[in-house]
A and B are shown apart, each in its own frame.
Chain A
Amino acid sequence: MAMRDIEIDLAGTRFDFLGSSRLLGDAIADALRQNGGVAATADEASLIVALHPLGPQAEAADLLPDLQRHGERFAAGLGGRLVLVLSAAASVPMRRHPAHSANAAMAWAGMRTLAMALAPKVLVNAVGAGFVEEAGQVLAGDPVMPGHAGLQRPGRVADLVNAVLFLADPANTYTTGQLLNVDGGWTVGYGRNF
């Protein structure tokens, strides 16, 4: 069988999710299992992937109190990982989506403070989703995004899943408090020829 894009060795790490997004959550869970992770309840897990609202239409949420609670448990014990998936609008607010932009930015700032507070035993990072479409279904972002991006196509679920695996990788040990946008370059600047 061909190698997947990325393989990591979770070696039985127990993981769980916070937040909703069925399709994305299922894809991440499958990938974590294929890489040696074991699904568990949040209270048993040492790797938590939190899915923040990714679309402008989604209801605002605040996952930070739960992340903090679990992170403090990791920090008091054997350590762990928190990976937040949030909207790339955290780093570039959108005029048409003020509440969504603000909610995402709050999650980003909260993620950064958690990383500082929970170090060194807990690593906390985020993936920033641009426009993601799979089988005609919009899973994240706004269809206008690729118009400003260097890579002028929608992102796929696999693109987000690969970034989550990278940040969950036990061999990736010196990055914390960071947001990695997976957005084709939407947050980079102005995709115009002048």
Chain B
Amino acid sequence: MRCDLDGRVAFVTGAAGAIGSAIAKKLADSNGAVVIADINLDGAEALAATLPNALAVRVDIRDAGAVEAAVAATLERFGRLDILVNNAGVNTFAHRVTIDQFPAEEWERITSIDLDGLYLMSRAALQPMLAGGGGRIVNIASVVGMAAMRLQSAFVAAKAGIIHLTRAMALELGPRGIAVNAIAPGSIMTEGTRKLFYGADGTFAGRTAEFMQHIPLGRPGTPEEVAEAVLFLSSPAAAYISGQLLPVDGGWTAGFSV
């Protein structure tokens, strides 16, 4: 799709990562000004240098002070903030274990970024959005927040939390001109999923065909396919859509395929 964001300012977290950078590029290609926010400043700066109207900021979304400073830097550069894409998130690679074995530090690391960080980021970004009379928030959840899976309990819980928080935010903020929606990516081809599933030496290598039986389209998605949905929900075309969860998952959550 093509649309014109007309210079609206979009703040994208985790924007140096695979999905985040695809989102940032897509919004920039649609005439948005983009804040490339990431804990990896080098990666953020490298991406920002390739885009026409972008600002790189380092932010650890677990840190309320850093989050507020990043929003302040956004306002200093662009004077407004219209769209927040809460994309930053982590899962566990080293600890694919059931909850009775799940390390407390790993639980804390995952939920503090995926859920608490999303709250801190939203709270800070909402101040200029509300002052400006409206805006959009797009939260990147996951299909595991809809249909539970084994061996990643912290991620499952955090992503389910994001989905329901999206609904509560939509109800609270709708009357004040802000639409809030979520996207649930399925299995997306990134460095992380290569380590788990798609690489020859991945943790679950050899079981990819079994996994793909559950995905009607029979393949992992691409970061660009997720970005397409983010652009739609950020655009004027989606003005009456709020509180919704849009899976971009190859049909995984349509039902049980097997």
Residues of A within 8 A of B (CB): 3, 5-8, 112-113, 115-116, 119-120, 130, 149-153, 155-156, 159, 162-163, 165-166, 169, 171-178, 180-185, 187-191
Choose among A115, A163, A188 the residue that contacts B167 (Cβ–Cβ < 8 A).
A188
With contact pairs A119-B251, A172-B1, A185-B171 given, residues A6 and B243 touching in the complex (Cβ less than 8 Å): no
Closest A residue to B246 by CB, please name it: A180
| B139 → A minimal CB distance (Å) | 13
Q: Is the CB–CB distance between B1 and A8 below 8 Å?
A: yes
- Please report the C-alpha to C-alpha distance between residue A192 and residue B2 in the assembled complex, in whole angstroms: 37
Q: Is the CB–CB distance between A181 and B241 below 8 Å?
A: yes
Q: Which 4 A-B pairs have the closest CB atoms?
A: A150-B174, A177-B254, A188-B243, A119-B216
With contact pairs A7-B1, A152-B174, A166-B1 given, residues A187 and B243 touching in the complex (Cβ less than 8 Å): yes
Q: Is the CB–CB distance between A116 and B251 below 8 Å?
A: yes
With contact pairs A6-B235, A182-B241, A184-B174 given, residues A175 and B247 touching in the complex (Cβ less than 8 Å): yes
Binds A, one of B69-77, B81-89, B115-123, B217-225: B217-225
Choose among A150, A156, A181 the residue that contacts B171 (Cβ–Cβ < 8 A).
A150
Q: Is the CB–CB distance between B237 and A185 below 8 Å?
A: no
Question: How would residues 240 to 254 of chain B score, 1 for a CB under 8 Å from any chain A CB and 0 otherwise?
Answer: 111110111111011
Q: Is the CB–CB distance between B255 and A113 below 8 Å?
A: yes
Closest B residue to A8 by CB, please name it: B1
Q: Is the CB–CB distance between B254 and A176 below 8 Å?
A: yes
Q: Is the CB–CB distance between B251 and A176 below 8 Å?
A: yes
Choose among B4, B229, B238 the residue that contacts A175 (Cβ–Cβ < 8 A).
B229
With contact pairs A115-B254, A116-B216, A185-B170 given, residues A172 and B243 touching in the complex (Cβ less than 8 Å): no
Q: Is the CB–CB distance between B254 and A171 below 8 Å?
A: no
**7 pairs from A and B in contact (CB 8 Å cutoff):** A5-B239, A116-B251, A151-B240, A165-B237, A174-B221, A185-B171, A185-B243
Closest A residue to B172 by CB, please name it: A150
| A187 → B minimal CB distance (Å) | 7
The reply on B257 being an interface residue by CB < 8 A is yes
| B162 → A minimal CB distance (Å) | 14
- Please report the C-alpha to C-alpha distance between residue A115 and residue B241 in the assembled complex, in whole angstroms: 23
